[in-house]
Amino acid sequence: MDLMCLSETCMAGYNIARRDCDNSQRGDTAIFYSTKFMARQRSDHFIQDIETVWLELTLPNRNKTLICSLYKQPNSDFDTFKESLDNVLEQSANEEVETLILGDFNCDMLLKRLPKISKELMQLRNIYQFAQVVKEPTYIFIHSSTTIDLAFTNNAEKSLNRVCYSARLAIIH
């Protein structure tokens, strides 16, 4: 595996771009990436009050790609989150580069009747023409399941072949 976006974890043996809320070493949100990638952490896409880390990857014979690992705490204010995410999506759209935003949004997109915050998140991603590529439950309980781990991309055709998202099914966090 070349790249992983994880929340609330730490892993040895990979380069890491991380952002911690406090002084702990658990890696509140992080991107672990292979040493074969040329990468730099981007602080200009910082989202205030939301745990994010941005990485710009330059792959051989390809344009640069922006990767974001995001963790929205369950009790954080949604309006603040939405406004900050709007600003970052606009900034990314202006760069005209492939962008992947992966992580735990704590906003269920699986329900048949989406709550208001899920609908607003869908509207926001539609404005900037991002696709949500996670289509199956990412958090499974005994009697229910949710899709709160999401993967947004502005280039679904290319990204689908190489997205590694933070689904709890694939990587326990």
- For tokens 């009697």, the residue is 143
CATH of 3-159, one of 3.40.1800.10, 3.10.290.10, 3.40.50.300, 3.60.10.10: 3.60.10.10
CA 47 distance to own-chain centroid: 12
pLDDT per residue over 64-81, tens digit each?
Answer: 888 888 888 888 888 988
Q: What is the largest CA-CA distance in the chain?
A: 47
Q: Specify the pLDDT at position 158.
A: 63
DSSP letter at 159?
H
Are 157 and 131 in contact by the 8 Å Cβ rule? The answer is no
Distance (Å, rounded) from C-alpha 121 to C-alpha 81?
Answer: 10
Which of 106-120, 134-148, 149-163 has the lowest average pLDDT?
149-163
Name the range with the highest mean pLDDT among 43-57, 83-97, 101-115, 120-134: 120-134
Helices (H) and strands (E) in the chain, counts: 3, 11
pLDDT per residue over 4-45, tens digit each?
Answer: 776 666 666 677 776 655 544 444 778 888 777 788 988 877
Residue extents of the structural domains in the chain: 3-159
